[in-house]
Amino acid sequence: MHKDIATPLRTKEILHKYGFSFKKSLGQNFLVDTNILRKITEFADLTKETGVIEIGPGIGALTEHLARTSKKVVAFEIDQRLLPILEDTLSPYDNIQIIHQDILKANVQDVIEKEFSGIKDIMVVANLPYYVTTPILLKLLTEQLPLKGIVVMLQKEVADRVSANPGTKEYGSLSIAIQYYTKAETVMIVPKTVFNPQPNVDSAVIRLMKRDKPIVEVEDEAFFFQITRASFAQRRKTILNNLTSALPNGKENKDLILSSLEKANIDPSRRGETLSIQEFAALSDVLLRTLPNLNK
């Protein structure tokens, strides 16, 4: 068994050896607690048949735990300075592939086909860089990748939004997008003290397991998400006012938006945060039929 990377001392040694300095712009916070890394791996339920995608491996602390428990790990790292470090720290493992690329620009579907041929069970497991958490999650879900699920660490406040219920202040278009595709739960809170450098906020680990099919059936998925985003454009506004001001051509079509809300049995004076995913689905289908030019 190799000496774990994620101890405070070993992390310090590695950073010192390479003269590595953290880039704030890349949201680099390295975990220095092997216990938490082991738990993250357990939540992902990995087996020797699992292919794992990691985003932002840092110096390889989580990567080595993933390599020990899965068939293969493919990690996307944007920071060129970390490539020689990873080559060194992960040298004991032969089932890791590091890709020097921004996950948001990568063709992940191609990478999966190339790196995971014959592997059916694919999980994303990562300690996500805080500044791009939302776009990464949405990319992974909307691109219809053949994933079984996603287990990631992110800012606690984002985790609260991901698994929020209607009627709460955390509930918004992100909650709807994630719950549309997955069953979402927060499985662990992680204190800021277990990172080097220490971030300003606590983190949480969320587990998103892909649904066989989305939680609601809608006629036009892109339009459904457009309506949910518009409904939360200004949280204090009613749904009628938000849709009127946030949709293209909304102001000219206020009467039609009003009648669509009534057709969908939604009181126009409600706020977006009180609507369930099912109500948003009904509303977006009615709007699509009433106002096909709304999203043009």
Provide the residue-wise pLDDT of the chain in tens; the chain has 296 residues: 567 888 889 988 988 898 887 776 666 678 889 999 999 999 999 999 999 999 999 999 999 999 999 999 999 999 999 999 999 999 999 999 999 999 999 999 999 999 999 999 999 999 988 878 999 999 999 998 999 999 999 999 999 999 999 999 999 999 999 999 999 999 999 998 888 778 888 999 999 999 999 999 999 999 999 999 999 999 899 999 999 999 888 899 999 999 999 999 999 999 999 999 999 999 999 999 988 666 55
Domain boundaries, the chain: 8-210, 221-290
Return the residue matching tokens 């916070």. Answer: 29
Amino acid in position 261: L
Sign for the CA dihedral angle at 101, 104, 109, 112 comes to: positive
Residue 236 has phi, psi (to 5 degrees) of -80, -15
Q: How much is the pTM?
A: 0.92
Residue numbers belonging to the annotated binding site for S-adenosyl-L-methionine: 29, 31, 56, 77, 102, 127
**221-290: CATH topology:** Helicase, Ruva Protein; domain 3 (1.10.8)
* CB within 8 Å of 82: residues ≥ 6 apart: 20, 57, 58, 59
Residue numbers belonging to the annotated binding site: 29, 31, 56, 77, 102, 127
Q: How far is C-alpha 53 from the geometric centre of its chain's CA atoms?
A: 13
Candidates 2.60.120.10, 3.40.50.150, 3.20.20.140, 3.30.70.260; correct CATH number of 8-210?
3.40.50.150
